[in-house]
Amino acid sequence: MGKRGYHHGNLREALIEAALKLIAQKGPQGFTLSEAAKDAEVTPAAVYRHFAGREDLIVEIAVQGFEIFADLMEFAYDDGRPSALAAFEATGRAYLAFARRYPGHYVAMFESGLSLNATPELARAAARALAVIEKAAARLSEHIPAAKRPPPAMFSAHVWAMSHGIVELFARGAPGGRAPFPPEDLLETGIGIYLRGLGLLPPDA
């Protein structure tokens, strides 16, 4: 990768990677600029060639995270194909896959105490990601008889809450310690039961 010589070559990326590792390991508050710099084999002062400061680095990571997150979910949703239900379920799996594969991003996005309006760029990226979840829920809920249909925003809040709860409690080194079941199974069965409650799945599927 060419860290030979005086110039690093790709310090910006190296700092982001180091920060991601640290954030995933010790949480967003435990992360320090100095340690990220050390990981990238560089003086702390060098960080300021690429970022305005500590906060700016975290924001950058959150922005990147929301963009990957939105892309992943959009890809999984695939514009509602082959069916609203299948697309919805794929989106849920993408949520969990993202949390699992990009733990540092996930933490920066949802646990750093960052305001999603910290910068316009961040606000835009976050809005795009959350819109995918809401669209998937809204489209699916059109299949529910209007009389017993919950508001789409409520539907998507339920699904998001269960997904987030499973990630926080069972997909990390979290407090409960050992997960009683694989998080993927928990999410699939949990959402399945929920959808059955809405009449979107047959009662004994």
Partner DNA sequence: TGTACATCAGTGAACGCGCGTTCACTGATGTAC
Answer yes or no whether residue 144 interacts with its own copies by CB under 8 A. Answer: no
Structure tokens at 164: 């987030």
CB closer to its own copies, 110 vs 143: 110
CB closer to its own copies, 87 vs 96: 96
Answer yes or no whether residue 32 interacts with DNA by CB under 7 A. Answer: yes
What's at 109, amino acid-wise?
M
Q: Is the preceding omega at residue 82 within 30 degrees of 0, hence cis? A: yes
Q: Which stretch binds its own copies (CB under 8 A): 45-53, 69-77, 82-90, 155-163?
A: 155-163
Q: Which of residues 70-109 bind DNA (CB under 7 A)?
A: none
Let me know: does 95 contact 73? Beta carbons within 8 Å: yes
Q: Which of 9, 27, 151, 197 binds DNA (CB under 7 A)?
A: 9
Which residue has tokens 């949520």?
Answer: 95
Structure tokens at 96: 């969990």
Q: Which of 17, 21, 39, 55 binds DNA (CB under 7 A)?
A: 55
Binding mask 165-204 for DNA (x = CB under 7 A): ----------------------------------------
Q: Which of 27, 29, 49, 151 binds DNA (CB under 7 A)?
A: 49
Answer yes or no whether residue 70 interacts with its own copies by CB under 8 A. Answer: no
Q: Which of 25, 29, 43, 117 binds DNA (CB under 7 A)?
A: 43
Q: Mapping DSSP to helix (H, G, I), strand (E, B) and coil, where does residue 66 land? A: helix
Dihedral sign, Cα of residue 172, residue 176, residue 178, residue 179 = negative
Which residue has tokens 């976050």?
Answer: 126
114-118 long-range Cβ contacts below 8 angstroms, 24+ apart: 114/28, 114/58, 114/59, 114/62, 118/55, 118/59, 118/62
Structure tokens at 33: 């600029």
**Partner whose footprint covers residue 169, from DNA, its own copies, none (CB < 5 to 8 Å by kind):** its own copies
Q: How far is the CB of 63 from DNA (least distance, A)?
A: 18
Let me know: does 96 contact 187? Beta carbons within 8 Å: yes
CB closer to DNA, 57 vs 125: 57
Chain contacts with DNA (rule: CB under 7 A) = 5-9, 11, 31-35, 41-50, 53-55
